[in-house]
Amino acid sequence: MTVMRPADGIETIECWEWALEHRTGPVALVFARQVVPALRTDGAAENRSARGAYILQDAACGPRRATIFATGSEVSIAVAARAVLEAEGVGTAVVSMPSWELFEAQPADYRAAVIGRGTVRVAVEAAMKFGWERWIGEDGGFVGMSSFGASGPADELFRHFGITPEKVVEEVRARL
């Protein structure tokens, strides 16, 4: 099964397009229940989500020193954390990862370029860390849940579980 968890409207269109063309197995499109901000407005000719993961925002203030990975609604948290780090002079890229399965199928050189080996790597997801080590390495940081979930408004739950831009920044700083 190919799981796709888009971060915004553009990624939703791209994932839907890929799912409609896919003919060799089931596809699960997983959406956030809360409203998510538009992170992309490019509507590029290339379906970036079809590669499974891509650099949404690259380091701008200097060489990439940190890479923040996120999927679905948590990509906006990664983008907010990147803004803080870039303002501090830490070159930081955000990788949107709508599908682990599609990313794993990409050529090794593409995966290496996106992952940013040799950078501090932190993943953000409103779930458990299980599996993220494959992309962030055993020394990578993780901002997510470490206990059973809860019910309530998303913004309150994110604060309750510490899934915040501030926590992501803290994880990056601890590894620099």
d(CA 40, CA 26): 27
Helix axes 75-87, 165-175, angle to 10 degrees: 50
The per-residue pLDDT of the chain, averaged, comes to 93
* Cβ pair 135, 121 in contact under 8 A: yes
Determine the pLDDT at residue 48.
Answer: 96
pLDDT tens column, 35-56? 899 999 887 678 999 999 999 9
| Mean pLDDT, rounded, for 133-140 | 92
Determine the pLDDT at residue 156.
Answer: 81
Question: CA triplet 4, 112, 52: central angle to 5 degrees?
Answer: 10
| Mean pLDDT, rounded, for 63-88 | 97
pTM here?
0.93
Determine the pLDDT at residue 146.
Answer: 74
Determine the pLDDT at residue 145.
Answer: 84
Determine the pLDDT at residue 158.
Answer: 80
Determine the pLDDT at residue 131.
Answer: 87
> Closest by alpha carbon to 119, among 59, 74, 75, 79?
59
